[in-house]
Structure 1
Amino acid sequence: MLPFLLITTRGEDLEAADEHAAYCRLTGLLPEELHWRRIDRAPLGGVDFDAYSGIILAGSPFTVSEPAERKSATELRVERELAALLDEVVRRDYPFLGVCYGIGTIGAHQGARVDRTYGETSQAVSISLTEAGAVDPLLHELPARFEAFVGHKEAISEVPDSITVLASSPSCPVQAFRVGRNVYATQFHPELDTASFASRVRAYAGHGYFEPAEADAIIQRVERADVRASHMVLGRFVEEYLGTRRWVADPAPQPG
C-alpha cells in the first residue's frame, strides 16, 4: 500500500508529536504508513505524488490573514512552499485534506477571503452538513449534525465559485469545503478527542485564541462534548484513497 503524507507546522515538540500520534490513531495508520514532515523545521522540498495515497495538512499557530510584515521568515517560507504544493495538488485534483490552517491556506489559494470575521474561541460547536455535504463521497456517512472541536482566529468569509461548501456552524459559515473532486478542508479539528483538545488548550493558552484565565473553564465545558462523529472525516479520507488511484481524472474519450 502507498502511505499518506502528514505536513505539520507546530514548533513545540510535544504538541507536534501528540498531533502525529492523534492522526495515526484516528486514521488507523501505523507511523510508518503516515510519513511526517515538520516544515516549520526544514523546507518541504519536493513531494513525489506517485509515492503517496494522499496528503494531510494539519493545523498551525500560523495565520493566513496576518499582515506579511508581522510574519516570521519561517512562516513566509512555509506559505510559499504550501502555495506551490497546492498549485500541483489542485492541478492534479490530488487527494488532500487541510485542517484548520489548511482551510485558510487552500481557501486563500482559491481566492477566498480569509479574515477575522468568523473566528471561534476554543470550544465544541454543533456543525451541520449542507445539501452538498450530505451527498459528498467523503462526508455522506457523517450525521447531518455533529459536534466538533474548533479554535481559530480566522476563517473564510467570502467563497469563490471554485469552492463547494460542505458543512457550516452558526458562528462560522464555512466549516468544510471541497475543491474539484478530491481536495478537502475542514475548519474544525477531526483529529482531536477530549484529552488532546485539553492538552492543546493548555499549550496555546497565551496565543490569543482565548483569555488565558478561561483555560480551565473551557476544558471543563468540553469534557461533556461528544466529538466522535467528527473523527470519521479522517477514517473516511483513508478509506476513500488508501492505495487506490480512483481519484485520477477520467481518461479523455477516444475518437471514434
Structure 2
Amino acid sequence: MVSLLYVCVRPELGAADAEHASFRRALGADVVDRLDLLSQRLDTVDLSRYRGVVVGGSPFNVSDAHKSAEQQRVEADLETLARLAIDRRIAVFFTCFSIGVVTRMLGGEVTTTTPEPASATVIETTEAGSADPVFGPSAPALTVFTAHKESAAALPDGAVLLATNAACPVQAYRVGTHLYTAQFHPEPTPRDFADRMTFYRTTGYFDPEEFDLVQGQVLAASVTEGAALLRRFAETFAG
C-alpha cells in the first residue's frame, strides 16, 4: 500500500516531473503518489491513505507583491497541510518555498535579505537538530543544495531550530513532532540539480551568463545527506 505523497507546486511540467523522480529516488520508494496543487485541490485527495507527505519547491515566493489566484490557492492548501501536521494527523516535510508559507502561517516574517544562489552549501545542525530522529544522524553538519530568494527572518514562535548557517540562519525547523521544514532542497542529486537549472536559467537564481560555471560547480559537489534526511523521515513516519 502506498503511504507517501509528493505534493507538487511547480508550474513547469518538466521540472515537476524531474522533481517527482528525485523525491522517489531519495525516499527509496518505487511508488510515491503525486498531487499537483496547481491543477488539483488538496481537498480532492484522501490524505488518510498516507502517513507521510513531502512538498517540493517552486518559483513562487510568499513575499511576492502580486499573486495570481492560482498561487493564492496553492498557499492556502499548504497552510491547511501544515495545520494537519501540527495536529499530528499526518507527517509533512516542507521544502524551499513552502517553509515561507509555514513561517507566515505561524506569525513569522519572511524576508528577502538572506537569499542563497543555486549552489551546494554547508549547514550545521543545532543541539536540537542533533537530537532529532531525522536530522540527528547527519550531525554536526551536512552539505545540501540551495536556491532561494526569500527565507524566514527568524525562527517563528513554537518552532524548534534544527539547522542553520551564516548565509541563511533559519535552514530547517520542526513544529511539534510531525511538521518539518527545510529552506534547502534535500531531494536532488548533483545531476538532478544541474538539470533543474535549465528550467530556471533566467529567473534570478544565478547569473545566466555564468550558467556553465555554476552548473559545473553543482556537478562537482558531494551532496548525499539530503536524501538521507528524507529516507529517515519516511522510515520514521511511513515505514
Q: TM-score range by the shorter chain?
A: over 0.9
Q: Which amino acid aligns with 1:21?
A: A
Gaps of 5+ in 1: 244-256
Q: Is the 8 A contact 1:119 1:152 kept in 2?
A: yes
- The equivalences for 1:1-256 within 5 A come to 1-31=1-31, 34-67=32-65, 70-92=66-88, 94-243=90-239
Of structures 1 and 2, the larger Rg is shown by: 1
Partner of 1:251: none
Give CA deviations for 1:108-135 in whole Å, capped at 9, x if unaligned: 1111211101110111111110111001
Q: Which amino acid aligns with 1:40?
A: L
| Percent sequence identity over aligned pairs | 36
Q: Is the 8 A contact 1:9 1:60 kept in 2?
A: yes
TM-score of the superposition, structure 2-length normalised?
A: 0.95
State how far apart, in whole Å, the 1-side matches of 2:182 and 2:163 are: 8
Name the SS of the counterpart of 2:220 in structure 1. coil
Name the SS of the counterpart of 2:204 in structure 1. coil
The CA deviation at 1:40 is 1.2
The CA deviation at 1:219 is 0.9
Gaps of 5+ in 2: none
Q: Is the 8 A contact 1:2 1:53 kept in 2?
A: no
State how far apart, in whole Å, the 2-side matches of 1:180 and 1:71 are: 30
Q: Which amino acid aligns with 1:3?
A: S
State how far apart, in whole Å, the 1-side matches of 2:88 and 2:131 are: 23
The CA deviation at 1:44 is 2.4
Q: Which amino acid aligns with 1:38?
A: D
Moved more, 108-117 or 42-51: 42-51
The CA deviation at 1:14 is 1.5
Name the SS of the counterpart of 2:232 in structure 1. helix
State how far apart, in whole Å, the 2-side matches of 1:24 and 1:214 are: 30
The CA deviation at 1:38 is 0.7
Give CA deviations for 1:154-196 in whole Å, capped at 9, x if unaligned: 0011222311110011200011100011210111111111111
